[in-house]
């Protein structure tokens, strides 16, 4: 900890539960203010006067921002910040930061593991061993699907999408992608529409961010385009998928299988997805290692320290890149 870090007389609001390492650093460096949740009705007069920063997992809307007139920065824990009203923050001259890069490799690793689990049914094979079925019933049935000969489409070719693609190159699989725009200098096939991408591949990996522009982007039409041999993996945001359409596509064999780490209403997972035998489901663990979460916590707090000691954010989100520190 630097000398500047030890002497920052700034009140930082932490709504709800937060990362223990981040909380410890905030407590040592700032005046930490706890609140049960990001609810304007819970904001006290003292908070209105003194709070200049927020550290949170998200869930910061315009009303909560407006309840804190002296707010200068929202340090979001996570690369995704769709639950923070960054546009409203920008209009108010408030900086918003996130934690990119430090979780890229971990999430990409998880995406590959989830893809293989989904295709080769490895979690079910392990259960077969552990519950004694191997002894009682013999060998686990041959997996119907294989990674061999597949073609991969990535929806969202940002930092994580690119890290996933680089890993998949080692499998000698063709890779294509869909973004709002083509990525300069990238040799993978680009498709200007998601439907075009889904039609061209049999394996679709979604790394797309949440928000209005991607709400239920993976719908019945996209899944139908993916086809009967299709595998869908979502490591991005649950809101990007029409979960009812996905459950129906799995049930009627419109697609072959799905692997999901994220859901629209976490931790509540639709029963139809839980019941589907052709799914591999994880409880949003893409970046959930102690190593990576500590790095995310450090970057979250480092943004606060840099803002209040140097007047600059380390990782501003695009909407607030031009926001200047108050003098």
pLDDT over threshold 90, residue 4: no
Backbone angles phi, psi at 237, to 5 degrees: -135, 140
pLDDT (tens digit, 9 = 90+) per residue, 161-179?
Answer: 999 999 999 999 999 999 9
What count of residues does the chain have?
A: 327
DSSP string computed for 224-268? HHH-TT-EEEE-S-GGGB-HHHHHHHHHTTSSSEEEES--TBTTB
What is the rounded average pLDDT of the residues 275-281?
Answer: 98
187 is a domain residue: yes
pLDDT (tens digit, 9 = 90+) per residue, 5-48?
Answer: 566 899 999 999 999 999 999 999 999 999 999 999 999 999 99
What letter does residue 316 receive in the DSSP assignment? B
300 and 268 share a domain?
Answer: no
What percentage of the chain reaches a pLDDT higher than 90?
97
239 and 162 share a domain?
Answer: yes
pLDDT over threshold 90, residue 1: no
What percentage of the chain reaches a pLDDT higher than 70?
98
- How much is the pLDDT for 312? 97
Active site residues: 237, 266, 284
pLDDT (tens digit, 9 = 90+) per residue, 94-134?
Answer: 999 999 999 999 999 999 999 999 999 999 999 999 999 99
Is residue 160 within 8 Å of 107, Cβ to Cβ? yes
Return the structure tokens found at 294.
């500590």
Confidence of residue 93 (pLDDT cuts 50, 70, 90): very high
pLDDT over threshold 60, residue 2: no
76 and 164 share a domain?
Answer: no
Is residue 70 within 8 Å of 306, Cβ to Cβ? no
Give the integer Cα–Cα distance in Å for 81 and 160.
15
Whose CA is closest to 311, among 101, 95, 98? 95
- The boundaries of the domain holding residue 115 are 104-281
Distances (CA, A) of 49 to 46, 52, 64, 65: 5, 9, 14, 13
114 and 9 share a domain?
Answer: no
Residues sharing a CB contact under 8 Å with residue 206, sequence separation 6 or more, in sequence order: 155, 156, 218, 232, 233, 234, 235, 236, 240, 241
233 and 130 share a domain?
Answer: yes
325 is a domain residue: no
pLDDT over threshold 90, residue 266: yes
Q: In the predicted model, what is the mean pLDDT of the chain? A: 96
8 and 45 share a domain?
Answer: yes
Q: What is the CATH number of the domain that holds 122?
A: 3.40.50.720
Question: Which residue's structure tokens are 């552990």?
Answer: 130
pLDDT over threshold 80, residue 75: yes
171 and 263 share a domain?
Answer: yes
70 is a domain residue: yes
267 and 295 share a domain?
Answer: no
DSSP string computed for 32-89? EEEESSS-GGG--HHHHHHEEEEEESS-B-HHHHHT-TT--EEEESSS--TTB-HHHH
Is residue 279 within 8 Å of 234, Cβ to Cβ? no
pLDDT over threshold 60, residue 305: yes
- How much is the pLDDT for 327? 72
65 and 127 share a domain?
Answer: no
265 and 151 share a domain?
Answer: yes
């Amino acid at each position: 900890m630097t000398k500047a870090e030890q002497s920052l007389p700034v009140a930082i609001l932490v709504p709800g539960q937060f990362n223990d390492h981040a909380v410890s650093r905030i407590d040592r460096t700032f005046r930490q203010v706890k609140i049960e949740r990001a609810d304007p009705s819970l904001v006290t007069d003292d908070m209105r006067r003194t709070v200049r920063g927020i550290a949170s997992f998200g869930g910061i809307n315009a009303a909560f921002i407006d309840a804190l007139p002296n707010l200068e920065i929202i340090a979001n824990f996570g690369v995704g910040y769709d639950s923070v009203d960054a546009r409203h923050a920008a209009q108010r001259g408030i900086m918003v930061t996130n934690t990119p890069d430090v979780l890229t490799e971990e999430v990409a690793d998880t995406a590959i593991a989830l893809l293989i689990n989904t295709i080769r049914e490895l979690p079910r094979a392990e259960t077969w061993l552990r519950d004694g079925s191997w002894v009682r019933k013999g060998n686990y049935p041959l997996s119907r699907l294989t990674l061999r000969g597949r073609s991969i489409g990535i929806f969202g070719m940002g930092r994580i999408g690119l890290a996933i693609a680089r890993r998949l190159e080692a499998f000698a699989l063709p890779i294509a992608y869909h973004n709002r725009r083509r990525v300069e200098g990238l040799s993978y096939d680009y498709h200007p529409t998601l439907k075009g991408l889904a039609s061209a591949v049999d394996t679709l990996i979604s790394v797309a961010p949440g928000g209005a522009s991607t709400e239920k982007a993976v719908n019945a039409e996209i899944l139908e385009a993916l086809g009967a041999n299709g595998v869908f993996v979502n490591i991005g945001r649950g809101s990007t998928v029409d979960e009812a359409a996905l459950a129906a596509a799995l049930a009627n064999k419109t697609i072959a299988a799905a692997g999901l780490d994220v859901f629209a209403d976490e931790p509540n997972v639709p029963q139809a997805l839980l019941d589907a035998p052709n799914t591999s489901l994880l409880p949003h663990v893409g970046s959930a290692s102690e190593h990576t979460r500590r790095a995310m916590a450090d970057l979250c707090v480092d943004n606060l320290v840099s803002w209040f000691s140097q007047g600059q954010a380390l990782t501003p989100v695009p909407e607030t890149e031009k926001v200047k520190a108050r003098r």
